[in-house]
């Protein structure tokens, strides 16, 4: 399928990859704390008949340098963008902090039809990096809505890596300790995913070394099921934080963090999820697609 790519500079940096003949399906694609624009992922999705938009949602012009009180209106504006270009079915695909943003956006914006959350969290966490003021402490929420920060869980800075050294570290234990230390804050920080009208597809690896995304995904699924809302969870216990979709390049190693899993397991998880992703986006497109 012929794909056309359009570079964007306003209202955010980004790229729109779409079939040359157009599409009734629009998908916002969000990276995690890398902050990158997901060019390869949007291209692969566009080859399946989807208009895929990836934006830089922090660290760009006029944006906070870190994930600190990011306005969820950043993402509802992207929904506006896709709808204005003819999308009649709209989804958001995000990984890690991008999955956190995706689920929250669907809670507040009923126009979102489907959320595909890779390595998600079930609660709102504190900032990762500095805000507009350049400060990282005291901890603040990662997100805001209509000018108000969302309740969040801070990090317990007493945590130290199990094997402190000069190499990359696994920080899952930091999140697990913080849940214990701030247990009284967890109820307010839980994402009310049952309020989202969107269909929810969760994809998580049990060997995630960044945060416990599989337990988080199971918590999200339970909230949805308890409310009678649709949800589907796809998991592999040997996969890590970065599932790879068919056709994507292997995820690069990081000098800072361990992500868990193996390239083979991460690819197998992505392959298992792929038909479910396409089913929710392409196969369920409105008449006329």
**Does the N-terminal peptide bond of residue 11 adopt cis geometry, omega within 30 degrees of 0?**
yes
Range of the domain at 105: 3-283
Task: For residue 289, tell me if it sits in a domain.
Answer: no
Task: For residue 137, tell me if it sits in a domain.
Answer: yes
Given pLDDT bands bounded at 50, 70 and 90, which one contains residue 167?
confident
Task: For residue 229, tell me if it sits in a domain.
Answer: yes
State both tokens at 187. Answer: 């109820």
Task: For residue 203, tell me if it sits in a domain.
Answer: yes
Task: For residue 258, tell me if it sits in a domain.
Answer: yes
Task: For residue 76, tell me if it sits in a domain.
Answer: yes
| Per-residue model confidence as pLDDT tens digits over 38-96 | 999 999 999 999 999 999 999 999 999 999 999 999 999 999 999 999 999 999 999 99
- Can you give the pLDDT at residue 288? 40
Task: For residue 288, tell me if it sits in a domain.
Answer: no
- Can you give the pLDDT at residue 72? 98
Number of domains in the chain: 1
Rg (C-alpha) for the chain, rounded Å, is: 18
| Per-residue model confidence as pLDDT tens digits over 200-257 | 999 999 999 999 999 999 999 999 999 999 999 999 999 999 999 999 999 988 989 9
pTM of the predicted structure, to 2 decimals: 0.96
SS3 letters for the chain?
CCEEEEEECCCCCEEEEEECCCCCEEEEEECCCCCCCCHHHHHHHHCCCCEEEEECCCCCCCCCCCECCEECHHHHHHHHHHHHCCCCEEEEEEECHHHHHHHHHHHHCCCCCEEEEECCCCECEECECCCCCCCCCCCCECEEECCEECCCECCCCCCCCCCCCCCCECCHHHHHHHHHHCHHHHHHHECCHHHCCCEEEEEEECCCCCCCHHHHHHHHHHHHHHCCCCCEEEEECCCCCCCCCCCCCCCCCCCCECCCCCHHHHHHHHHHHHHHHHHHHHHCCCCCC
CATH number, domain with residue 271: 3.40.50.1820
């Amino acid at each position: 399928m012929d794909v056309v790519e359009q570079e964007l500079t306003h209202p955010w940096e980004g790229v729109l990859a779409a079939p040359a003949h157009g599409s009734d399906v629009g998908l916002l694609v969000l990276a995690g704390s890398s902050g990158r624009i997901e060019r390869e992922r949007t291209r692969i999705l566009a080859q399946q008949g989807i208009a895929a938009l990836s934006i830089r949602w922090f660290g760009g012009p006029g944006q906070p340098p870190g994930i600190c009180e990011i306005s969820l209106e950043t993402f509802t504006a992207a929904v506006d963008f896709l709808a204005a270009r003819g999308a009649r079915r709209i989804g958001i695909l995000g990984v890690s902090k991008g999955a956190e943003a995706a689920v929250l956006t669907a809670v507040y914006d009923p126009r979102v039809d489907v959320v595909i959350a890779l390595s998600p969290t079930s609660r709102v966490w504190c900032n990762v990096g500095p805000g507009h003021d350049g400060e990282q402490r005291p901890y603040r929420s990662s997100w805001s809505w209509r000018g108000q920060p969302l309740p969040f869980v801070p990090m317990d800075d007493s945590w130290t890596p199990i094997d402190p050294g000069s190499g990359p570290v696994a920080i899952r234990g930091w999140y697990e300790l913080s849940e214990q230390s701030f247990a009284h804050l967890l109820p307010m920080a839980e994402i009310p995913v049952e309020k989202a009208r969107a269909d929810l597809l969760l994809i998580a690896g049990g060997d995630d070394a960044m945060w416990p995304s599989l337990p988080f995904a199971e918590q999200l699924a339970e909230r949805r099921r308890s409310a009678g809302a649709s949800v589907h969870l796809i998991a592999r216990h040997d996969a890590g934080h970065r599932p790879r979709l068919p056709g994507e390049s292997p995820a690069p190693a990081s000098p800072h963090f361990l992500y868990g899993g193996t390239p083979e397991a991460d690819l197998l998880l992505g392959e298992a999820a792929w038909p479910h992703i396409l089913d929710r986006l392409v196969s369920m497109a409105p008449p006329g697609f």
